[in-house]
Amino acid sequence: MILRGNFFQLKDINVKGAGRKTGNTTNGITLLGVDSAIVENVRVEGFQKSGVEINSCRNVSVKNVYAANNGFCGILITGTGEERSKNILVTGCNAENNPGDPTILDNHSGNGILAGLSDSVVIDHCTATNNGWDMPRIGNGPVGIWAYESDHVTIQYCISYHNKTSKGAQDGGGFDLDGGVKNSIMQYCLSYENEGAGYGLFQYAGASSWQGNIVRYCVSINDATTTKAAGGIFIWNGSGDSTQFGNCNIYNNVIYSVHAPAVQFEAMSANRNFLLGNNIFIGSDSIVHGPSSGEKFVNNIWWTTGGRIFFHQYSSILEWSAATGQEKLDGQVRGKQIDPKLKGPFLTNIADPYQLNLLSGYSFVSGSPAETSFLDLAALKIPVAPHDFFGGTVSQQSNPGIQQLKRNQ
């Protein structure tokens, strides 16, 4: 179904194809060059390409769409170099079990929700799960919810979990700001038990410059279950040029893992002005792994799920700080290797983005060291978030973690 024209609504229908491997070769619903439209309360499944494709459109809302059992992608926002999609809202949607396109043998497929060649996109209160498991190749792979070559993308209040990739392939992660993304934000999101990274920050060779992005008030739980050399946060710069990959603030997140690094730097990960501050990292063994590539850590809390933790090759935060200057601000060590005293439990099965407030295991108990740990966001030119993960007030004197505490004056 290809729809052109302007000022229309498509509502309350089911669209079903013959199956991605059993005769269908198209998208389910394509909006092409449309200005001002609403797609709402739609179920779309069984198409080889995407369930819903928004191509070179403006001012389009996609609401309460269930996209399942498609090949390339559940919901795709895209455009061209001459006509990018702009002002697109995707909200309350679920991309589930979109396994892969059997005809694409030279690139990824099996994505949940993807925005590319687009400007001013909001992906809000959406879910992506069990995508990507039948991509017919080994190489770069799919992600639950992500963007590339786009400007001003906001991904918020979303859950991406149990996403996959083909055996031996890459990716299969929860969320990703990929090559050429600028001025974009991932916030108030939950990623858990994906085969790949929880939150990927990637730049590939040939992409336009990747600049000015933010990851804040997000949670990763036991991501990177399968994909080699991934982590809760995974940083890779395939361009090899730090000027092409810079100015990123990663703050007030919680990363928990019993089996993978909290932060993983790929061998190629040169970056400029990456700041990781006010996060809580809980893991074991190599909690931050890979080469030091230009980033700055400050005022984070680090703790173990059991056993020892290592900071690159260093055995304690003090040793790491003394050797590299990490976790120092104004000459003082600001990071802490100490139990953050979160309520727990740390595992979850939340699948409804409107129930993210139930993730109370990542709020604090009394006596948390976060109560006396603050980072002046304004002094570091870090934008203050509208509120914390649970809706609480945030000031420029911000605690680590996803819950802000009242400061004793």
Architecture label for domain 2-360: 3 Solenoid (2.160)
The confidence score (pLDDT) of residue 81 equals: 82
Neighbours of 258 (CB within 10 A): 14
The reported pLDDT for the residue numbered 282 is 98
Q: State residue 407's pLDDT score.
A: 56
What residue spans of 211-316 are helical by DSSP H?
none
Structure tokens at 163: 């996403």
Count of C-beta atoms within a 10 Å radius of residue 335? 25
CA distance 108 to 166: 10
What is the model's pLDDT at position 228? 85
- Could you identify the residue written with the tokens 């407030």? 357
> Exposed, middle or buried by CB within 10 Å (0-12, 13-18, 19+), for 136?
middle
Ranges of residues in the chain with a pLDDT under 70 are: 407-409
State the Cα torsion 235-301-364-162 to the nearest 10°. Answer: 20
The half-sphere exposure of 100 on its side-chain side, counting CA atoms within 13 A, is 24
Give the distance, in angstroms, between the CA of residue 305 and the centroid of all CA atoms in the same chain: 23
- Show the tokens assigned to 282: 């809980």
CA-to-CA separations, 304 to 124, 279, 316, 336, in angstroms, rounded: 32, 14, 12, 12
> What's the CA gap between 276 and 269, in Å, rounded?
15
Residues whose CB falls within 8 Å of the CB of residue 252, separated by 6 or more in sequence, listed in order: 216, 217, 278, 279, 385, 388, 398, 400, 401, 402
Q: Buried b vs exposed e over 201-220: b needs ≥16 C-beta within 10 Å? A: bbbbeebebbbbbbbbbbbb
Q: What is the DSSP track for 133-149?
A: TT-SSSSS--EEEEEEE
Cα distances (angstroms) measured from residue 53 to each of 47, 57, 240 = 11, 10, 33
Residues present in the chain in total: 409
Q: How far apart are CA 168 and CA 154, in angstroms?
A: 31
Residue the block writes with tokens 């002002």: 87
Query: Do 35 and 66 form a contact (C-beta atoms < 8 A)?
Result: no
| Pair of tokens at residue 406 | 């009242």
Which residue has 């120092």 as its token pair?
328
Token pair belonging to 254: 């919680």
C-alpha distance from residue 56 to each of 23, 30, 180, 368, 404 (Å): 27, 10, 18, 49, 40
Taking the CA atoms of residue 343, residue 344, residue 346 and residue 349 in that order, the dihedral angle to the nearest 10 degrees is -110
Quickly count helices (H) and strands (E) in the chain. Answer: 1, 32
